[in-house]
A and B are shown apart, each in its own frame.
Chain A
Amino acid sequence: GEDVEQSLFLSVREGDSSVINCTYTDSSSTYLYWYKQEPGAGLQLLTYIFSNMDMKQDQRLTVLLNKKDKHLSLRIADTQTGDSAIYFCAGGSGNTGKLIFGQGTTLQVKP
Chain B
Amino acid sequence: EAQVTQNPRYLITVTGKKLTVTCSQNMNHEYMSWYRQDPGLGLRQIYYSMNVEVTDKGDVPEGYKVSRKEKRNFPLILESPSPNQTSLYFCASSLSPGPTIYGYTFGSGTRLTVV
Chain A residues packing against B (C-beta within 8 Å): 4, 6, 8, 29-31, 33, 35, 40-45, 48, 50, 88, 90, 92, 95-99, 101-104
Contact = CB atoms under 8 A, between A and B. Distances in A.
Given A96-B48, A97-B97, A48 B103 contact: yes
B104 A45 contact: yes
A9 B52 CA distance: 40
Contacts of B48: 96-98
B99 A42 contact: no
B45 A102 contact: no
Interface of B: 4, 31, 33, 35, 40-45, 48, 50, 56, 58, 90, 92, 94, 96-109
Contacts, number: 71
A92 B40 contact: no
A88 B41 CA distance: 11
Given A90-B103, A95-B98, 11 more contacts: A4-B42, A6-B42, A43-B90, A48-B103, A97-B94, A98-B45, A99-B103, A99-B104, A101-B35, A101-B42, A103-B40
B99 A92 contact: yes
A88 B43 contact: yes
B40 A98 contact: no
A5 to B, nearest CB: 9
Q: Which of B42, B58, B97 has most chain A Cβ within 10 Å?
A: B42
A70 to B, nearest CB: 17
A44 B106 contact: yes
A79 B44 CA distance: 29
A95 B41 CA distance: 23
Nearest to B104: A99
B58 A48 contact: no
9 contacts: A31-B100, A33-B103, A43-B104, A45-B102, A45-B103, A95-B97, A97-B50, A98-B33, A101-B42
